[in-house]
Amino acid sequence: MEEPVKAIFTECIQTQIASADLLQEPLLRAGELLVDSLLRGQKVYCCGESMAHASARHFSHIMLTGLQFDRPPFPVNALHADFGANEHQAIFAQQISAVGQPNDLLVVLSAGAQAPRVSRAMEAALSRGMLIVALTNDADQDVAGLLGPDDVEIRIPSRNAARVSEHLLQLVNMLCSLAEQQIFPQEDDA
């Protein structure tokens, strides 16, 4: 029984090592885009497809409440997934169409190959002149193709949805840390 557990840990560690090499530059660009949006007074919205939805909600929570120290809340809103909606696939897009403004930021997360609700939200964001940060994976077939030249993709080097989900949580924590460090540099010295 120990061997399957060790194999899971090994796969997780291998994905971590590959991510450390591949994701540094896009993570820094995404952090810059996030900080720039916040400092210009833009709103940030986030959503996730399927099991990535929990990581999107976590991102919104830590951006509002703080991750490493007490600070004023950042204006980040998780789009809700109303499963009772008439058109479930369009629920995120409807929210972006209702509130999204030019130069606002949409952060999308996807742990699998298909992301129809997230893709439609991205289309709505693009039609409103918003910017996008996409956290995707090697299995992605929907999200990356919708990104423009000013958008940022952070592509986790894995096709395993469990490993991708683990890394999504780590990446949203890192994005929050980068934003806090850039906006409140004096707190790094404390």
The region of weakest confidence among 77-81, 101-105, 117-121, 169-173 is 77-81
Q: What is the DSSP string of 132-165?
A: EEEEEETT-SSSGGG--TT-EEEEES---HHHHH
**Cα gap 161→8, rounded to integer Å:** 13
- Report the candidate in 110, 105, 30 with the shortest Cα–Cα distance to residue 74: 105
- Tell me the three state secondary structure of residue 188: helix
- Tell me the three state secondary structure of residue 60: helix
Question: With bands split at pLDDT 50, 70 and 90, how would you rate the model's confidence at 83?
Answer: low
Q: Give the angle 167-173-176 at the CA atoms, nearest 5°.
A: 140
What's the confidence (pLDDT) of residue 121? 96
Residue 190 has pLDDT above 60, yes or no: no
**Cα gap 62→176, rounded to integer Å:** 7
Mean pLDDT in the chain? 92
Specify the amino acid at residue 101: Q
Q: Average pLDDT in the 65-74 region? A: 94
Q: What is the largest CA-CA distance in the chain?
A: 53
Q: Where are the domains of the chain?
A: 2-185
Residue 88 has pLDDT above 80, yes or no: no
- Report the candidate in 149, 135, 139 with the shortest Cα–Cα distance to residue 107: 135
**Cα gap 86→155, rounded to integer Å:** 32
Distances (CA, A) of 2 to 7, 8, 9, 127: 9, 10, 11, 51
Q: Confirm if 157 and 13 have CB atoms less than 8 A apart.
A: no
Question: With bands split at pLDDT 50, 70 and 90, how would you rate the model's confidence at 84?
Answer: low
In CATH, 2-185 is 3.40.50.10490: yes
Q: Average pLDDT in the 111-118 region? A: 92
Q: What is the DSSP letter of 114?
A: -
Q: Average pLDDT in the 150-177 region? A: 95
- For residue range 19-47, list pLDDT tens digits in order: 998 999 999 999 999 999 999 999 999 99
